[in-house]
């Protein structure tokens, strides 16, 4: 059982920093921040879960079944992630590529302490066993005012797992598959990495967040493994009997010149190539959602709408469905996993082809981070625009990708990858 305490915050931005600094004493931490990005489907401005009371960590074998058992049994708030490689649980696929990060395939925890921020209202939701600690915690949090923890090491040397010529060769191979009809869109990703490197995870996350201000930012700490994410994309959300997915397909860079910036946005809206990429994924997601939806309830609410973020313009669609009250939340996720925006279509062929062409096991990149509530609702982002770090192995990694279709030009695709990688590179190298 949990007890709630509500508190009014004077300066929410300062309090967010204090909360994050305070959270570093725990082994299990998940912070989610919408950066005040207002949209129809927002729940909280920010949310922090710390200190595992119970948890589950597993590889992909029967992972969804184990998660279903865990989520049903706890019937509480649980926070964690699903890696892309859970595809191997859903379909008969494998992941044999290099993995420098070594994250478990699935990880969730039931926090002892939970903080929900909305406007200037803070709700503290503690397990009864630790409820008597809330006042001490709040005082400790509000006392923290040192927002800088250490100076970042700027001598990080980023390496490419796939070099430019090799990238062109692989994209051309993918285009051959498309022209042969094996697949009509595939999301091809590449890794940038640094070895023998130590970073300050929290400070790196804060810098990345300032540069990007995304609506699905997340900071995850699981012992010695960290995710520092500036994700702009929601994967799947359930509220009551309504499920929504908001895939991003279509990216354009920003310009500091307002006229040029408006033109770049207009060009993205008008681009047949970007619209066709988005349309293919919308069709795939409609199909995925229909597996658990009530008949006739799948609906495209927003189609190819361009949204502007600090780094890029993005084309986003919103697809919704209604599910029966008795439908298990894990079944909704399993029947749509991995998200179509990160695979391509048809999904299974795309996953098989990209597995042979990519050099790195995706792991948490292009997986999902989020939470379940005690009412069987959930909300998950897509892990993109993210830095991953294994402190013990001193290995830092970020990956970027793009959708390859029949109209793709390998050079333009490569340039789009560099646009997407810019914020992560900037944070790590400067």
Residue 388 CB neighbour total at 10 angstroms: 24
How many residues are there in the chain? 430
Of 238, 249, 361, 420, the catalytic one is 249
Token pair belonging to 8: 């009014």
Strands, DSSP E only, in 70-182? 78-82, 106-118, 121-127, 159-160
Cβ-contact 416, 251 below 8 angstroms = yes
Q: What is the C-alpha separation between 73 and 56, in angstroms, rounded? A: 12
Cβ-contact 159, 326 below 8 angstroms = no
Token pair belonging to 340: 């179509």
DSSP 95: -
Helix (H), strand (E), coil (C) string for 5-71: EEEECCCHHHHHHHHHHHHCCCCEEEEEECCCCCCCCCCCCEEEEEEEEEEEEECCCCHHHHHHHHH
Burial category of 331 from C-beta neighbours within 10 Å (exposed 0-12, middle 13-18, buried 19 and up) = middle
Strand partners, 319: 245, 300
Strand, coil or helix: what is 373? Answer: coil
- 249 noted as active-site residue: yes
Q: What is the C-alpha separation between 378 and 374, in angstroms, rounded? A: 9
Torsion, Cα of 174, 311, 20, 149 (10° steps): 100
Tell me how far CA of residue 287 lies from CA of 291, 304, 340, 366, in angstroms.
Answer: 7, 18, 10, 20
Match 């998200």 to its residue by tokens: 339
Residues 6+ apart with CB under 8 A from 122: 6, 7, 8, 9, 15, 115, 116
- 301 noted as active-site residue: no
Cis peptide before 408 (omega within 30 of 0): no
Of 185, 191, 233, 274, the catalytic one is 233
Strand, coil or helix: what is 382? Answer: coil
Residues 6+ apart with CB under 8 A from 100: 193, 195, 360, 390, 393, 395, 397
Catalytic residue positions, numbered? 233, 249
């Amino acid at each position: 059982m949990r007890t709630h305490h509500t508190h009014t915050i004077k300066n929410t931005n300062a309090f967010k920093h204090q909360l994050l600094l305070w959270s570093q004493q725990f082994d299990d931490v998940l912070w989610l921040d919408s950066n005040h990005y207002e949209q129809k489907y927002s729940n909280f401005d920010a949310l922090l879960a710390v200190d595992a009371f119970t948890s589950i960590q597993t590889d992909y074998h029967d992972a969804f079944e184990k998660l279903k058992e865990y989520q049903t049994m706890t019937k509480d708030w649980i926070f964690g992630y699903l890696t892309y490689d859970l595809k191997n649980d859903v379909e008969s696929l494998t992941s044999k590529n290099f993995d420098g990060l070594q994250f478990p395939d699935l990880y969730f925890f039931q926090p002892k302490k939970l903080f929900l921020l909305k406007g200037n209202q803070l709700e503290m939701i503690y397990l009864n066993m630790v409820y008597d600690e809330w006042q001490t915690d709040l005082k400790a949090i509000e006392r923290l005012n040192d927002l800088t923890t250490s100076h970042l090491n700027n001598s990080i040397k980023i390496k490419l797992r796939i070099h430019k010529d090799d990238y062109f060769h692989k994209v051309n191979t993918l285009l051959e598959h498309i022209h042969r009809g094996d697949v009509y869109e595939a999301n091809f990703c590449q890794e940038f990495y640094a070895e023998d490197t130590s970073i300050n995870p929290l400070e790196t996350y804060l810098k990345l967040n300032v540069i990007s201000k995304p609506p699905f930012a997340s900071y995850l700490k699981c012992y010695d493994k960290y995710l520092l994410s500036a994700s702009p994309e929601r994967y799947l959300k359930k509220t009551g009997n309504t499920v929504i997915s908001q895939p991003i397909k279509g990216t354009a860079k920003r310009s500091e010149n307002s006229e040029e910036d408006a033109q770049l946005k207009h060009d993205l809206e008008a681009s047949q190539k970007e619209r066709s990429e988005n349309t293919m994924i919308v069709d795939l997601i409609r199909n995925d959602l229909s597996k658990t939806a009530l008949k006739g309830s799948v609906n495209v609410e927003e189609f190819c709408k361009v949204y502007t973020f600090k780094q890029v313009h993005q084309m986003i669609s919103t697809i919704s469905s209604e599910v029966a009250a008795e439908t298990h939340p894990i079944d909704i996720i399993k029947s749509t996993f991995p998200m179509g925006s990160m695979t391509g279509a048809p999904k299974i062929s795309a996953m098989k082809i990209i597995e042979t062409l990519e050099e790195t096991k995706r792991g948490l990149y292009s997986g999902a981070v989020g939470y379940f509530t005690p009412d069987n609702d959930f909300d998950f982002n897509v892990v993109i625009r993210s830095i991953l770090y294994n402190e013990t192995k001193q290995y830092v990694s970020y990956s970027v990708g793009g959708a390859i279709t029949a109209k793709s030009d390998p050079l333009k695709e490569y340039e789009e990858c560099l646009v997407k990688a810019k914020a992560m590179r900037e944070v790590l190298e400067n």
